[in-house]
């Protein structure tokens, strides 16, 4: 009987549950058609495209060796296989990496469920699983090619092997290997693990054995693997993890990309990421057994450490979101009278938010690149065409979403690494006086791009330039209902019409 049951298992769980989770995350993948942050393209797919096809833009982080090639190598491997099979169409280059990320996220979801079944029972595990699957922010992020997504996946799977009280799957080598891999991919991934590693060390009877025979070999092997990969692709020995921490933590140069008050994660970041799960999380914190205190300490520690850094983003605290789902699940399990309304409220509120952010909010920057890609493939003879993205830098994906060696340019925004007091990057200089900048930059008509991509908020300011240089608006794309500053509600494509063509019309 035991053998019969096990034949219907996959990843240690019922095969139907596994198939349901995988199917849900695949649907999740196709229902996220919006952009979140530039890093999901510029630090993963764009780099992988450059590695395999020898064209693609490498941002300043790569010239300064702040990023490692371990994460992009996953997507470069996918690209290489597609290329060898002759299936490297632009749609496959965009969707296959995201489907791979969706599959990994599904495995992480199942590992969280398995862990809760070990620690508690199937009923509590189901509520935690429900909370995890219907979290709007998890839905929004878990299929994106972001290092934060991979960091979250590895953190959940590592927690499955972590020696929590009541766990039957603890394995020091496995969990420390996953934590080390997360650190290699994104060095700040170690932040949530500091209290967990300290607790393990404190409770371990054979402390020296843990360090010498578990942590140290894992650390040496993983770091060596990372250094060798980076040596191959950078062409010189470098320790990107040190460079990354030095830039973001020691020098705090991340403030160049925006700074927030110290309390931002507590007053905005954490409540937004949790969404309507927040009251259930607070309720669950009072109900959960003492053995889960370490998870709560980890969440608070992570929020406090990130609060010390000036540059703050929602995605930075994504790795501790699954920890919060444990407390939300506990809350739902203890509800009696209000359980059905609570479930309906959680499901509907998160579904609406997930669908809106996944299908509507900030979709224009992807749609416009699809249009550019279609222009390239529909007019292969137009070899003289070029594109200039006149939007806040890195607003759109680049060659990974066009897959055509079309000359493209965008407004640059590298931070000042020399310590100048009055430093202005190209994008800031442009936005100070766009019209003057354009006249200086394109004083010779022969250098004018064929296509200009702009947000609608810029149109009026540069209209004189557009008219005088024979640019005509040829396409409009909706972007967001919440325009802000330099980012408008719509994206316009302007195409330069040659005088001969204009007269014919």
pLDDT averages per 10-residue partition of the chain, 505 residues: 52 89 98 97 97 95 93 98 96 98 98 95 96 98 97 97 92 96 95 96 91 94 96 95 81 72 95 97 94 96 94 96 97 91 96 98 98 88 86 96 95 83 89 95 91 97 96 97 96 86 39
Is the pTM above the cut of 0.85?
Answer: yes
Give the closest residue to 296 by CA, choosing from 249, 332, 273, 328: 328
Q: List phi, psi (to 5°) of 473.
A: -70, 125
Instruction: For residue 252, give both structure tokens.
Output: 């705090």
* Terminal CA-CA length for the chain: 79
Please state, as a whole number, how many other Cβ atoms lie within 10 Å of the Cβ of residue 68.
26
Instruction: For residue 244, give both structure tokens.
Output: 């990354």
Residue 423: predicted pLDDT: 84
CA–CA gap between residue 40 and residue 431 (Å, rounded)? 25
3-state secondary structure of 457: helix
Partnered with residue 472 across adjacent β-strands are 495
CA–CA gap between residue 340 and residue 425 (Å, rounded)? 54
Helices (H) and strands (E) in the chain, counts: 26, 7
Please state, as a whole number, how many other Cβ atoms lie within 10 Å of the Cβ of residue 427.
20
CA–CA gap between residue 248 and residue 201 (Å, rounded)? 28
Phi-psi region of 164 (alpha: psi -120 to 50; beta: other; left: phi over 0): beta
Residue 28: predicted pLDDT: 98
Burial of residue 170 (CB within 10 Å: 0-12, 13-18, 19+) is: middle
CB of 361 within 8 A of CB of 34? Answer: yes
CB of 368 within 8 A of CB of 340? Answer: no
CB of 97 within 8 A of CB of 71? Answer: no
CA–CA gap between residue 366 and residue 479 (Å, rounded)? 9
Whole-angstrom CA distances from 254 to 83, 141, 310, 312 are 36, 22, 7, 9
Q: Are strands 451-455 and 471-478 parallel, antiparallel or unpaired?
A: unpaired
Which H helix or E strand runs over 473?
A: strand 471-478
Q: Which stretches of 308-380 are DSSP H helices?
A: 321-334, 339-359, 364-378
Residue 444: predicted pLDDT: 86
Residue 309: predicted pLDDT: 87
- Angle of helix 321-334 relative to helix 293-307, nearest 10 degrees, comes to 140
Instruction: For residue 402, give both structure tokens.
Output: 């066009």
């Amino acid at each position: 009987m035991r053998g019969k049951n096990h034949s219907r298992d996959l990843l240690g769980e019922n095969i139907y549950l596994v198939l349901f989770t995988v199917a849900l995350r695949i649907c999740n993948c196709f229902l996220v058609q919006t952009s979140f942050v530039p890093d999901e393209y510029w630090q993963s797919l764009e780099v992988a495209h450059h590695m395999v096809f020898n064209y693609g833009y490498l941002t300043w982080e790569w010239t300064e060796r702040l990023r490692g090639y371990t994460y992009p190598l996953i997507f470069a491997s996918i690209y290489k296989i597609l290329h060898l099979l002759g299936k490297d169409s632009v749609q496959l280059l965009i969707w296959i990496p995201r489907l791979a990320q969706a599959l990994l996220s599904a495995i992480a979801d199942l590992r969280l469920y398995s862990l809760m079944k070990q620690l508690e029972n199937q009923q509590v595990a189901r509520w935690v699983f429900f909370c995890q699957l219907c979290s709007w922010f998890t839905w929004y992020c878990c299929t994106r090619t972001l290092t934060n997504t991979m960091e979250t996946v590895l953190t959940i799977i590592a927690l499955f092997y972590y020696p929590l009280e009541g766990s039957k799957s603890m394995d020091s080598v496995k969990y420390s290997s996953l934590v080390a891999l997360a650190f290699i991919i994104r060095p700040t991934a170690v932040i949530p693990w500091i209290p967990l590693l300290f607790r393990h060390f404190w409770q371990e009877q054979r402390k020296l054995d843990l360090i010498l025979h578990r942590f140290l070999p894992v650390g040496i092997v993983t770091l060596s693997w990372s250094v060798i990969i980076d040596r191959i692709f950078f062409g010189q020995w470098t320790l990107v993890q040190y460079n990354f921490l030095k830039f973001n933590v020691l020098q705090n140069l991340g403030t160049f990309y925006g700074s927030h008050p110290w309390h931002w994660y507590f007053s905005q970041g954490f409540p937004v990421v949790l969404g309507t799960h927040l009251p259930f999380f607070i309720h669950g914190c009072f109900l959960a057994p003492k053995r889960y205190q370490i998870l709560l300490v980890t969440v608070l520690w992570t929020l406090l450490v990130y609060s010390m850094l000036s540059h703050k983003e929602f995605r930075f605290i994504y790795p501790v979101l699954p920890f919060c789902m444990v407390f939300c699940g506990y809350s739902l399990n203890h509800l009696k009278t209000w359980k059905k309304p609570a479930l309906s409220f959680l499901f509907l509120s998160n579904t609406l938010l997930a669908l809106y952010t996944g299908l509507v909010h900030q979709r224009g920057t992807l749609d416009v690149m699809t249009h550019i890609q279609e222009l390239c493939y529909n007019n292969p003879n137009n070899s003289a065409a070029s594109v200039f993205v006149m939007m806040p830098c890195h607003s759109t994906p680049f060659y990974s979403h066009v897959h055509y060696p079309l000359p493209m340019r965008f407004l640059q925004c590298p931070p000042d690494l020399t310590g100048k007091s009055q430093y202005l990057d190209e994008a800031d200089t442009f936005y100070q006086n766009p019209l003057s900048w354009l006249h200086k930059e394109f004083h010779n008509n022969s250098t004018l791009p064929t296509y200009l991509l702009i947000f609608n908020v810029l149109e009026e300011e540069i209209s004189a330039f557009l008219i005088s240089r024979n640019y005509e608006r040829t396409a409009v794309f909706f972007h967001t209902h919440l325009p802000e500053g330099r980012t408008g509600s719509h994206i316009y494509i302007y195409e330069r019409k040659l005088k001969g063509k204009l007269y014919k019309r």
